[in-house]
Structures are given as structure tokens and as C-alpha cells.
DNA sequence: GTTAGCATGTAAGGAGTTACATGATTTT
DNA sequence: AAAATCATGTAACTCCTTACATGCTAAC
């Protein structure tokens, strides 16, 4: 028991790590963080929060009611509906870190990768590198599969199917290229901090951000 | 009852449309067709076949046992395990066409789009255009969301989160660009066949295939 | 002789969605 | 006065995966 709600758990713990929040806001931030990749509905969020509560990873904090435009609103229950603000417990933080340090397929598969990546600033350098490399290898395998299949079925496919394969292949190739840049950055950042085994905060990816936009 | 197994139903019917096949081969062809986008397991395939059978959309045909390397293998049950070869019925073909002519969100959302696209050669021109445009609009909305979110939270994000957003945005932009090329092709192909309302086979996407690789 | 590939299936469960229910508040 | 947005939640259901069970044949 405990490993339910795959991606959401990690994402929610990560966001609450920054600051306490209520459900509605949590979901908005979640979907803006991962906007291009996926979206969650309330039907996933609220049950997930319930479970996190049950596991003692989060607690309800004072329902701090942010002033509803006009500031001076009397005590008790005014300004909108009473919001339930959640915050991380010590165990929650610990669990978050242990989730972050997982570097198996669970971290680099399609749905999970983007969330893990989003919290790389809190992930130690070794794990970051292993996840990036794991994903690159995974995509490379997929590419091999696609290339073989295109070689085998050559000419026998209609133009739409062919175009789909071509487009799919190109997308995967692009992501591999992106990953390779990131991996190189990680390696170079490691040179800077010599043999240190420590975890520190974001190495501000200089160079790469520019490099990957070069062909604008 | 009847609308189960979302994407698979369409994909299986589509493949069986080309030629009869047994489950194992079906799955291989499925995964090679959609290799870059998704993969199915047997746990999805076999129950799906069962349901298609129940709906009368496919039937078992003679277990044509392809010669196992050496040709002359005696009658009955030789050469590997008895394979169950399925083929499309008339109702199956009809149902397949009706699935193909759906052009709502069910056709242009992430998981479904690639399968629908793969069978565009059997889809009529109007539907193709509506699906392509629907998806483009959908992605455009997603882009607007991402851009707004990036404008709002500017500077307050660590470099990894930022890089993720940038990469996500770029991917979506690329797909929009790809779609726009395809849409233009469809429109030009329509000019060729003047006012005709008919469905014909693949307009061999000339020009486009080259154009989208131009920046090689 | 053992691994890899061919071939078919089932049971249990995980992750998430849709649609509903409810109600306040702000904007148009 | 209507519509959008804020806010929380639940029940039912979908789609798919994992892990298991079984056994045969080809290649190393």
C-alpha cells in the first residue's frame, strides 16, 4: 500500500514544496506547468489529495482566505467558499525526495518523464544524468524499431501511413537530440564541481538554452 | 453497448481490411505502424478481438497455416501452434467506415489522432480536412495556454522547468506547422478534383513530403 | 539443452476521465 | 439576469498494463 496515483502524487508534493496551496490552485499550476504534455482533472486531484492526507504527507493548514479584491472582510466565513489549504509535512518532504531519487524506467517513461524533469532542480546530479540517459536509450530503441519497420515495409504503404511514420520518426529524433544536449550540459556542469558527490541547486543550464534554439 | 476499446477497435478493423491475420501478427503490425506513438500489449488485443467477434465485425477464417520454412508439411495440425486467423465481415467493413467518418474531438485528440491519420487513405476528403483542422485548432489552444503561462510566471521558474516549457512549446509548434502543410495539400488536391463531392483514394501528398524535410 | 520467438489467452488492478452534484462570487 | 470562474467533491466507467498460465518450434 502507498504507491497509488502515479504521476500526480509526485507533481502535487512538488508543488506544495514551494508553498501551501488549495486544490483548485494546485490543479491550475499543475496544468500550466505541464501544459504542452498533459492535463489533469479534478476527478484525479481530489482523491489524490485525500490519499496524501491519509499517508500523512500533507496536512490541512489554516484556511488563509486571500482577500477577495476588497480587503477588509469580516472574520469567519466570508469571501468565496472556504478553501482548504494543504501543506507538506516532514514525512511528505522525505517521501518527495525518495520519489525524486528513483531513476528506473518509472522515471523515464513517457508520462512520468516530464514531471520528473520539472523537478530536476531538486534532484541530485547523478539521478538527473541517469534519467536523461535512460530516456535517451529508450527513445533510441524506439527509433530502431521504427527504422526497421520502415525498411521492411518500404513502398508497400500508402502516402498517409508513410507520412505518419516519417513525422513520428522525426519527432523522436528531435527529442533524442534535445536529450543529448542536456546530457552534455550535465556532464560539463559536473566538471565544474570536480569530484564532489553533493547535491546542490540548479546549474542554470547556460549555453544549452541558446544552443537548442540556434536553428530558429 | 458496442463502443469499447477505443483506439484498438479502429486499428484492428483497419488492418484486417487489408488482409486476414491472426492476433500475434496483428499486434506486431499495429506496433510497427504506430511505433513512434504508442504500443499495445496482448492483454488489450485478445479481449478486443473477442469483442469484435461478438459484434459480428470479424469472423475466424480457415486456419491457413503458412508453411514453416520447409514447405511440405502434412495436413491437420503441424507447423507451430494452430493460429486463429480473423477476417472482416461486411458489417465490419461498414462499421469501420462509420468510425472513419467520425470527425469530432474523438478523432483529433492525442491518442486517437495518429490512428485516424494512419487510415486517411480510406477516409473521404471532407473528413480528412475537418480532422486536420480540428487538431490544429486544438493544438493552437494548447499553445495559447502555454504562452500565457510562460508570460505570467516569467523569471520565477528554475531553469529546468523553463527548459521543459520551452521544449514543450516548440514540439507543439512543430506539429502545428506540420498540420498546416497537410491542410494546404488537402486544399490543393481538392482544386484538382474541382467541385466533386466524391471519395477517392490517396492524393499522394506530393510536394509536402519534400517541403516538411526542407530544413534538413 | 537452453534461450528466443511464436502463439493464445485470463485476472487483477492502476491511472485517469466524464458527468454529476452543489453553491458562492464576479463579470458582462 | 445570465454567464464565467472559483471551489470541492463523488460514482461509474474506460482503457490499458502487468503478471501469470501454457506450450510449441527454431536457433545457438
Q: How confident is the model at residue A109 (pLDDT cuts 50, 70, 90)?
A: very high
Which of B34, B117, B175 is closest, CB to CB, to A160? Answer: B117
Q: How far is B153 from chain A (nearest CA, A)?
A: 10
Which chain C positions come under 7 Å from a protein C-beta? 5-12, 14-20, 23-27
In window 70-129 of B, residues with CB < 7 A from nucleic chain C are 80-81, 83-84
What are B39's three cell numbers? 504500443
Tell me: pLDDT of A128 over 70: yes
CB count within 10 Å of CB A55 equals 16
Best CA proximity match to A102, nearest among A197, A209, A7: A7
Q: How far is B174 from chain A (nearest CA, A)?
A: 9
Q: How far is B65 from chain A (nearest CA, A)?
A: 22
| Partners of A86 in the β-ladder | A21, A60
Tell me: pLDDT of B179 over 60: yes
| CB proximity B215 to A under 8 Å | yes
Sheet of strand B21-22, all strands in order from the earlier edge strand to the far edge: B21-22, B85-88, B58-60
- pLDDT value at position B186? 97
- pLDDT value at position A2? 54
- pLDDT value at position A156? 83
Report the protein residue whose CA lies nearest the C1' of nucleotide D19: B43
Rg (CA), chain B: 22
Q: How confident is the model at residue A77 (pLDDT cuts 50, 70, 90)?
A: very low
Which of B143, B162, B209 is closest, CB to CB, to A163? Answer: B209
Indicate the pTM of the whole model. 0.85
Best CA proximity match to B11, nearest among B84, B124, B105, B100: B100
Q: Do B160 and A114 touch (CB under 8 A)?
A: no
| Of the options 1.10.238.10, 1.10.760.10, 1.10.10.10, 3.40.50.2300, the CATH number for the domain spanning A3-65+84-100 | 1.10.10.10
Tell me: pLDDT of A75 over 60: no
- pLDDT value at position B92? 96
User: Taking CB atoms and an 8 Å cutoff, what residues of chain A touch B172?
Assistant: 36
Spatial distance from the CA of B85 to the C1' of D25 (Å):
19
Per-residue model confidence as pLDDT tens digits over B87-121: 999 999 999 999 999 998 889 999 999 999 999 99
In the stretch 10-49 of chain B, residues with CB closer than 8 A to chain A read: 31-37
Report the protein residue whose CA lies nearest the C1' of nucleotide C9: B46
Mean pLDDT, residues B7-30 taken together = 95
Per-residue model confidence as pLDDT tens digits over A1-39: 455 678 999 999 999 999 999 999 999 999 999 989 999
Q: How confident is the model at residue A214 (pLDDT cuts 50, 70, 90)?
A: very low
- pLDDT, mean over chain A: 84
- pLDDT value at position B71? 38
Which of A117, A145, A153 is closest, CB to CB, to B164? Answer: A117
What whole-number distance in Å separates Cα of residue B165 and Cα of residue B215?
23
What whole-number distance in Å separates Cα of residue B174 and Cα of residue A167?
10
- pLDDT, mean over chain B: 84
Spatial distance from the CA of B9 to the C1' of D27 (Å):
36
Which of A158, A174, A201 is closest, CB to CB, to B121? Answer: A158
Amino acid at each position: 500500500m502507498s504507491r497509488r496515483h502515479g504521476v500526480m502524487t509526485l507533481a502535487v508534493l512538488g508543488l506544495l514544496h514551494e508553498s501551501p496551496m488549495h486544490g483548485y490552485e494546485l490543479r491550475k499550476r499543475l496544468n500550466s506547468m505541464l501544459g504542452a504534455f498533459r492535463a489533469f482533472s479534478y476527478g484525479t486531484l481530489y482523491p489524490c489529495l485525500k490519499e496524501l492526507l491519509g499517508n500523512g504527507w500533507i496536512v490541512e493548514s489554516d484556511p488563509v482566505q486571500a482577500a477577495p479584491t476588497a480587503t477588509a472582510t469580516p472574520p469567519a466565513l466570508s469571501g468565496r467558499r472556504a478553501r482548504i489549504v494543504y501543506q507538506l509535512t516532514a514525512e511528505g518532504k522525505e517521501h518527495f525526495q525518495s520519489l525524486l531519487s528513483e531513476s528506473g524506467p518509472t522515471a523515464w517513461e513517457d508520462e512520468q518523464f516530464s514531471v520528473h524533469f520539472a523537478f530536476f532542480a531538486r534532484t541530485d546530479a547523478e539521478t538527473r544524468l541517469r534519467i536523461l540517459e535512460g530516456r535517451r536509450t529508450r527513445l533510441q530503441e524506439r527509433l530502431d524499431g521504427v527504422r526497421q519497420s520502415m525498411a521492411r515495409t518500404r513502398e508497400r504503404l500508402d502516402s498517409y501511413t508513410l507520412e505518419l511514420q516519417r513525422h513520428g520518426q522525426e519527432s523522436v529524433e528531435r527529442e533524442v537530440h534535445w536529450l543529448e544536449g542536456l546530457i552534455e550540459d550535465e556532464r560539463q556542469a559536473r566538471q565544474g564541481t570536480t569530484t564532489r558527490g553533493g547535491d546542490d541547486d540548479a546549474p542554470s543550464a547556460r549555453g544549452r538554452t541558446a544552443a537548442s534554439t540556434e536553428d530558429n
